Structure 1
Amino acid sequence: MMIHTQIAKAIAKTLDYILSEEEVYNLLETPKQSHLGDVAFPCFTLAKIGKKSPAIIANEIKENLKSEWIHSIEVAGAYVNIFVSQDLSGNHILNQVLTEKSQFGSKPSTGEKVLIDYSSPNIAKPFSMGHLRSTVIGHSLSHLSEKNGYDVVRINHIGDWGTQFGKLIVAYQLWGEKSLIEKEPIKELLKLYVHFHEEAKKDDALNNQARAAFKALENGDEECLTLWKWFREESLKEFETIYQLLGITFDAYTGEAFYNDKMAQVVSELQDKHLLTLSQGAYVVELEDMPPCLITKKDGATLYATRDVTAALYRHQTYQPKKTFYVVGHEQSLHFQQVFQVLKKMGYEWATSLEHVAFGMMLKDGSKMSTRKGKIVLLADVLAEAIETAKRNMNDKNASLLDKELVAKQVGVGAIIFNDLKNLRTHDLEFSLEQMMSFEGDTGPYVQYTFARISTILEKGQYQPKEDTFCSLGEQAWPIIMLLDQFPSLVEKSFDQADPSQVARYSLLLARSFNKYYAHTKILVEDNHKQTKLAFSYAVSLVLKECLRLLGIAAPSQNVINEMS
Structure 2
Amino acid sequence: MNYKLIVAEALQEQIGDTLSVEAIFNLLEKPKSAEHGDVAFPTFSLAKVFRKAPQQIAADLGVKVTSPMVAKIDVVGPYLNFFLDKSIVSAAVLKDVLTQGEQYGDLAIGAGSQVPIDMSSPNIAKPISMGHLRSTVIGNALANIYAKVGYKPIKINHLGDWGTQFGKLIVAYKLWGNAEAIDAEPIAELLRLYVKFHAVAEEQPELNDDAREWFKKLEDADEEAVSLWKWFREESLKEFNHIYDMLDITFDSFNGEAFYNDKMQEIVDLLEEKHLLTVDNGASIVDLEKYNLNPALIKKSDGATLYITRDLAAALYRKRTYDFAQSLYVVGNEQSNHFKQLKAVLNEMGYAWSEDMHHIPFGLITQGGKKLSTRQGKIVLLEEVLNEAIDLAHQQIEAKNPDLPNKNEVADQVGIGAVVFHDLKNDRLNNFDFVIEEVVRFEGETGPYVQYTRARAMSILRKAGDFKVEPAADYMLNDAYSWEIVKLLQEYPETIQRAYEKREPSVIAKHALHLAQAFNRYYANSKVLVEDAGRPARLALVQTVAIILKEDLRLLGVKAPDQM
What residue is the counterpart of 1:349 in the other structure? 352
* 1:429-483 C-alpha deviation (Å, 9 max, x unpaired): 2232222333321110000000000001011112313221123341221111111
* 1:522-556 C-alpha deviation (Å, 9 max, x unpaired): 00111111111000111111111110001000000
Q: TM-score, normalised by structure 1?
A: 0.97
Do the aligned residues in 2 keep the contact of 1:330 with 1:360 (CA within 8 Å)?
Answer: yes
1:548 aligns with 2:528: no
Do the aligned residues in 2 keep the contact of 1:473 with 1:533 (CA within 8 Å)?
Answer: no
Quick one: distance in 2 between partners of 1:366 and 1:295?
36
Quick one: distance in 2 between partners of 1:112 and 1:219?
39
What residue is the counterpart of 2:268 in the other structure? 267
Do the aligned residues in 1 keep the contact of 2:469 with 2:536 (CA within 8 Å)?
Answer: no
Note the residue ranges of structure 1 that are not aligned, 5 or more in a row.
none
1:178 aligns with 2:182: no
What residue is the counterpart of 2:192 in the other structure? 191
1:278 aligns with 2:279: yes
What residue is the counterpart of 2:244 in the other structure? 243
SS at match of 2:298: strand
What residue is the counterpart of 1:443 in the other structure? 446
What residue is the counterpart of 2:400 in the other structure? 397
Quick one: distance in 1 between partners of 2:402 and 2:73?
56
What residue is the counterpart of 2:48 in the other structure? 48
Do the aligned residues in 2 keep the contact of 1:473 with 1:532 (CA within 8 Å)?
Answer: no
Quick one: distance in 2 between partners of 1:49 and 1:493?
31
SS at match of 1:82: strand
Equivalenced residues, count: 559
Quick one: distance in 2 between partners of 1:39 and 1:473?
17
Q: 1:325 aligns with which of 323, 328, 333?
A: 328
SS at match of 1:124: coil
Q: TM-score, normalised by structure 2?
A: 0.97
Do the aligned residues in 2 keep the contact of 1:418 with 1:504 (CA within 8 Å)?
Answer: yes
Do the aligned residues in 2 keep the contact of 1:415 with 1:439 (CA within 8 Å)?
Answer: no
Quick one: distance in 2 between partners of 1:481 and 1:471?
11
Matches within 5 A, 1:370-385: 370-385=373-388
Cα RMSD for the two superposed structures: 1.2
* 1:112-133 C-alpha deviation (Å, 9 max, x unpaired): 1122111111110000000000
Quick one: distance in 1 between partners of 2:559 and 2:57?
50
Query: Aligned-pair distance for 1:399?
Result: 2.8
Matches within 5 A, 1:72-91: 72-91=72-91
SS at match of 2:379: coil
Q: 1:297 aligns with which of 297, 300, 304?
A: 300
Do the aligned residues in 1 keep the contact of 2:141 with 2:555 (CA within 8 Å)?
Answer: yes
Quick one: distance in 2 between partners of 1:22 and 1:153?
33
Query: Aligned-pair distance for 1:111?
Result: 2.1
Q: 1:466 aligns with which of 465, 470, 478?
A: 470
What residue is the counterpart of 2:523 in the other structure? 518
Do the aligned residues in 2 keep the contact of 1:357 with 1:498 (CA within 8 Å)?
Answer: yes
Name segments (4+ residues, structure 1) moved above 6 Å.
none
Query: Aligned-pair distance for 1:14?
Result: 1.5
SS at match of 2:491: helix
Alignment-mate amino acid for residue 480 of structure 1: I
Do the aligned residues in 1 keep the contact of 2:440 with 2:448 (CA within 8 Å)?
Answer: no
Q: 2:538 aligns with which of 520, 533, 537?
A: 533
Percent identical residues: 49
Do the aligned residues in 2 keep the contact of 1:169 with 1:213 (CA within 8 Å)?
Answer: yes
Quick one: distance in 2 between partners of 1:389 and 1:472?
39
Quick one: distance in 2 between partners of 1:364 and 1:341?
36
Do the aligned residues in 1 keep the contact of 2:164 with 2:212 (CA within 8 Å)?
Answer: yes
Quick one: distance in 2 between partners of 1:306 and 1:186?
29
Do the aligned residues in 2 keep the contact of 1:101 with 1:542 (CA within 8 Å)?
Answer: yes
* 1:245-276 C-alpha deviation (Å, 9 max, x unpaired): 11101100111110000000011101111111
What residue is the counterpart of 2:103 in the other structure? 103
Do the aligned residues in 1 keep the contact of 2:477 with 2:538 (CA within 8 Å)?
Answer: no
1:491 aligns with 2:496: yes
What residue is the counterpart of 2:12 in the other structure? 12
What residue is the counterpart of 2:63 in the other structure? 63
What residue is the counterpart of 2:204 in the other structure? 203
Query: Aligned-pair distance for 1:49?
Result: 3.0
Do the aligned residues in 1 keep the contact of 2:90 with 2:476 (CA within 8 Å)?
Answer: no
Query: Aligned-pair distance for 1:54?
Result: 1.8
Q: 2:484 aligns with which of 479, 485, 508?
A: 479
Q: Report which stretch shifted further, 345-354 or 56-65.
A: 56-65
Quick one: distance in 2 between partners of 1:544 and 1:536?
12
Quick one: distance in 1 between partners of 2:533 and 2:483?
19
Alignment-mate amino acid for residue 138 of structure 2: I
Quick one: distance in 2 between partners of 1:113 and 1:217?
35
Alignment-mate amino acid for residue 386 of structure 2: L
Quick one: distance in 2 between partners of 1:315 and 1:239?
23
Q: 1:385 to 1:220 in 2, by over 3 A?
A: same
What residue is the counterpart of 1:506 in the other structure? 511
Quick one: distance in 1 between partners of 2:368 and 2:200?
25
Query: Aligned-pair distance for 1:48?
Result: 3.1
Quick one: distance in 1 between partners of 2:244 and 2:552?
20
Alignment-mate amino acid for residue 518 of structure 1: Y
What residue is the counterpart of 1:34 in the other structure? 34
SS at match of 1:368: coil
Alignment-mate amino acid for residue 364 of structure 2: M
